[in-house]
């Protein structure tokens, strides 16, 4: 099972839409997958699921358990203020340690409206994942100008974007 993690809690985010696209691609490749959307996090999870409250929030726990269903994760993250969304960091901080994502394999997809395609976000996230014992696939996919590339049907307009995601998915399956 591969978990596709939409790395923002913004409702109807582009990260979620790319997760939907990636899910279809993985299904076509014969890989079981599921989508973990941080938009489903409880709004008060920082106060009710972290630190002394670890393990006490059933809705947070449900999302955290989704990561336990398999050993591979695709994290699709937008770039917010030169990094990845704080809600993604808070979610990671609420996972059991050690555990949570320890020993998992991860692929990263970065999104941005600018030309860097989430490069800074993926760089910061890679450091954290490696610290937590997660192996990161070298083929990180940057999707720049995502507002122009992602269309209303949740398809990608650019052949290169589709090709890079497919190559990454194939590499992740072999990883």
Predicted confidence at residue 137, as pLDDT, reads 98
**Residue scoring higher pLDDT (105 or 53):** 105
How would you write the chain as a 3-class SS string? CEEEEECCCCCCCHHHHHHHHHHHHHHHCCCCEEEEEHHHCCCCHHHHCCHHHCCCCHHHHHHHHHHHCCCEEEEEEECECCECCHHHHHHHHHCCCCCCCCCCEEEEEEECCCCCCCHHHHHHHHHHHHHCCCEECCCCEEECCHHHHECCCCCECCHHHHHHHHHHHHHHHHC
Token pair 């941005």 in the structure block, residue: 112
- Residue range 9-38, pLDDT digits in tens: 999 999 999 999 999 999 999 999 999 999
CA-based R_g, the chain, Å = 15
Q: What is the pLDDT of residue 98?
A: 78
What does the alpha-carbon distance between residue 143 and residue 156 come to, in Å, rounded to a whole number?
10
- What is the structure's pLDDT at 116? 94
88, 7 contact by CB (below 8 A): yes
Query: For residues 104 and 108, what is the distance between their CA atoms, to the nearest angstrom?
Result: 13
Asked if pLDDT for residue 3 goes beyond 80, the answer is yes
Token pair of 40, please? Answer: 């489903």
The fold adopted by the segment(s) 2-174 is Rossmann fold (3.40.50)
* Alpha-carbon span 116 to 144, nearest angstrom: 6
Give the tens place of pLDDT for each residue, 99-155: 789 999 999 999 999 999 999 999 999 999 999 999 999 999 999 999 999 999 999
What is the pLDDT of the chain when averaged over all its residues? 96
């Amino acid at each position: 099972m591969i978990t596709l993690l939409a790395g923002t809690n913004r409702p109807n985010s582009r990260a979620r839409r790319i997760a939907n696209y990636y899910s279809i691609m993985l299904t076509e490749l014969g890989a079981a997958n599921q989508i973990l959307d941080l938009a489903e996090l409880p709004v008060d999870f920082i106060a009710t699921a972290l630190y002394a409250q670890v393990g006490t929030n059933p809705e947070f726990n449900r999302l955290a358990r989704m990561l336990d269903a398999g050993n591979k994760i695709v994290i699709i993250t937008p770039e917010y203020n030169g990094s990845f969304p704080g809600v993604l960091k808070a979610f990671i901080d609420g996972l059991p340690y050690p555990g949570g994502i320890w020993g998992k394999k991860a692929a990263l997809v970065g999104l941005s409206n600018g030309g860097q395609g989430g490069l800074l976000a993926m760089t910061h996230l890679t450091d954290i994942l490696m610290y937590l014992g997660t192996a990161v696939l070298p083929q990180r996919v940057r999707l720049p100008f995502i507002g122009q590339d992602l269309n209303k049907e949740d398809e990608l307009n650019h052949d290169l974007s589709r090709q890079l995601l497919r190559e990454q998915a194939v590499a992740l399956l072999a990883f």
